[in-house]
Structure 1
Amino acid sequence: MDVWLFIYFKMQKDRILNLLHLHFIVFIWGFTAILGKLITIDSLPLVWIRMGLATLFIAIYLLFTKFSIKISRKTFWWLLGGGVVVALHWVTFFLAIKVSTVSVALAMMSTGAFFTALMEPFWYKRKIIGYEIFFGLLVVVGLYLIFKVEAQYVFGMTIALISAFLAAVFSLINGKLVQNHRPSVISFYELGVGVLFLSIVLIVKGDWNMSLVVLPTSDWIYLSILAVVCTAYAFIASVKVMKILTPYTVMLTTNLEPVYGILLAWFIFGSEEKMKPMFYVGALIILSTVIANGILKQRANIKKRVPKI
């Protein structure tokens, strides 16, 4: 009995520490939205440079630690898909910020948990839980209120919803990959694939020229922070916590990003980020749904893990 209790409390301690770490990562991601607003270039070259710099830093890290980057062919195809998905997720995310506001884009990103709830039962071949459907309907109500009162940002909100869906897909892909591979190796391949994918897109669009790297000094400073802190570090760390936390828990916690990001936006941009009251009602409904869903998930996990004595 004592051994089982020790194992149980050790698991709970590891889970709490990883959950706190995840919250710190989410705060960094909230700051990512602020940087996206401050950087003057378009979303596509922004993400291309971000992923390029981050890939370089992770490559240096792997060289220093001497970790093997050898992977199987099957894993490579999963990483290829993950790299394309995360590149598209970031491009749509920053595009949504630039055509609307930080608050609007981040509020829409809260729907990531809803998309994950829809896909996870099929992904992991488990039964659909009734309250997930109910909470999904509440999310729709919250979205309706936001779309109704902030109609001028419909395009930005639509792009942000696409980004949220891609984030959910990416979370599910990495939830499987992290079980057998180092987070740094996963990040290296996915970010590298993203750079190659966006390079092809830039070439096809005819935007492959020196203007991609001739930028104001302030842009390079913001991009460096974005690449090192908000991407290289946060990317590896977020994948690492998946060894302890489920993809659904990660996505639920990630939905607190609007809280951190909107508060930062208020502080930095002031009145530019003020929305109509019903916008916050809709956002509150979505976030409350996320929290309630997380509580129910946690209770279910505790019941499963507590040993019978």
Structure 2
Amino acid sequence: MHFITRYRNLLILHFTVLIWGFTGVLGDLITVSALHLVWYRVLIAAFTLFVYFKFSKQQLAVPWRKMLKFLAVGMIVGLHWVCFFHAIKISTVSVTLVTLSSLTLFTAILEPLFNRKSIAIGDVIVGLIIIFGIYLIFKFEFQYWQGIVFGLSAALCASLFSILNSRMVKKDSPAIITFYEMIGAFIGVSIIMLASGQFTAEMNLSPSDLGYLFVLGSVCTAFAYVLGVAVMKELSAFTVALTTNLEPVYGILLAIAILGHRETMSIGFYSGAVIILGAVFLYPMLKTALEKSRYRKLVKE
């Protein structure tokens, strides 16, 4: 019975990661700018989560200081999504998803700095491998250099809010945090749009854009989040981290299947992609093996 439950949760997790991978394809299909796209996405996501809370009868009230923290981190989330979708629109889904995998590199550097710890040698080695993979992509797909830069910027923002979220989630409900982060992202993007005069007729949505945005905001953001949190309670952090690393793989495969020739890249790109994804995917397993080896040595001593 335990095996069946674990297998079911694992399938749900893979389905959730597949949904996350689909966001890149939707970003390409939606015709409005990245800024407008994110504005609509976080608005729909916040509203969907609000409805979810009302039906589940959960309290939304939090102290002002906590709320301000959640909103501030939400603005970083909003910036991450703007960079992510803009990268897709000026390059390809494949380029953006692979460069986004550099999240591991940024986290390896930033997390020890935030927690005042020394950087692990293993993290540095993996970081260098990822840099080499990005170099290959940059070399063979130089026409997409702006997309690579925005993809890396999205990864940096994702690393920052992941580190900050990992601290906050220890004290507060992940669902509540996400709800206020969506509001923070909405406020942040709205300020940028006001400052740059982006509240224009270009925001008008076609029927197809409206449908894609609804899927993006409700299914790929709010619904996928609720699913992800549910299985995280049952599966180990290692299993979740390892499976989440498949997001770029699922995203690239979906992009090739749906968008076709637009996602066809050079051999140099795929070589770099394999190096980056291989490093990101295999590293958690190697790190766990090393930790177990050290633990056994300590026990023997």
Q: TM-score, normalised by structure 2?
A: 0.88
Task: Specify the SS of the correspondent of 1:76.
Answer: helix
- The aligned residue for residue 117 of structure 1 is 108
2:52 to 61, 76, 88: 61
Does residue 92 (structure 1) correspond to residue 83 (structure 2)? The answer is yes
Give the Cα–Cα distance (whole angstroms) in 2 for the partners of residues 18 and 302 of structure 1: 25
- The aligned residue for residue 267 of structure 2 is 277
The 3 A distance-change label for structure 1 pair 144 and 113 is same
The 3 A distance-change label for structure 1 pair 241 and 99 is same
- The aligned residue for residue 140 of structure 1 is 131
The 3 A distance-change label for structure 1 pair 242 and 164 is farther
Q: List gaps (5 residues or longer) in structure 2.
A: none
Does residue 78 (structure 1) correspond to residue 61 (structure 2)? The answer is no
- The aligned residue for residue 261 of structure 1 is 251
- The aligned residue for residue 283 of structure 2 is 293
The 3 A distance-change label for structure 1 pair 32 and 187 is same
Give the Cα–Cα distance (whole angstroms) in 1 for the partners of residues 291 and 186 of structure 2: 38
The 3 A distance-change label for structure 1 pair 245 and 49 is farther
Amino acid at match of 1:183: P
Does residue 228 (structure 1) correspond to residue 218 (structure 2)? The answer is yes
Give the Cα–Cα distance (whole angstroms) in 2 for the partners of residues 15 and 72 of structure 1: 36
Answer whether contact 2:75 2:187 (CA < 8 A) is retained.
Answer: no
2:178 to 175, 181, 187: 187
CA RMSD of aligned residues (A): 2.8
Identity percentage over the alignment? 42
1:103 to 94, 99, 117: 94
Deviation at 1:133, TM superposition (A): 0.6
Give the Cα–Cα distance (whole angstroms) in 2 for the partners of residues 87 and 253 of structure 1: 24
Answer whether contact 1:51 1:192 (CA < 8 A) is retained.
Answer: yes
1:154 to 121, 133, 145: 145
| CA displacement 1:199-220 (0-9 Å, x = unmatched) | 12211212224542x3110111
Answer whether contact 1:113 1:255 (CA < 8 A) is retained.
Answer: no
| CA displacement 1:173-215 (0-9 Å, x = unmatched) | 1112222222221111000111112112211212224542x31
Give the Cα–Cα distance (whole angstroms) in 2 for the partners of residues 253 and 172 of structure 1: 19
Give the Cα–Cα distance (whole angstroms) in 2 for the partners of residues 292 and 39 of structure 1: 34
Deviation at 1:301, TM superposition (A): 6.0
1:218 to 205, 208, 215: 208
Deviation at 1:235, TM superposition (A): 3.2
Task: Specify the SS of the correspondent of 1:69.
Answer: coil
The 3 A distance-change label for structure 1 pair 228 and 257 is same
Q: TM-score, normalised by structure 1?
A: 0.86
Answer whether contact 1:113 1:290 (CA < 8 A) is retained.
Answer: yes
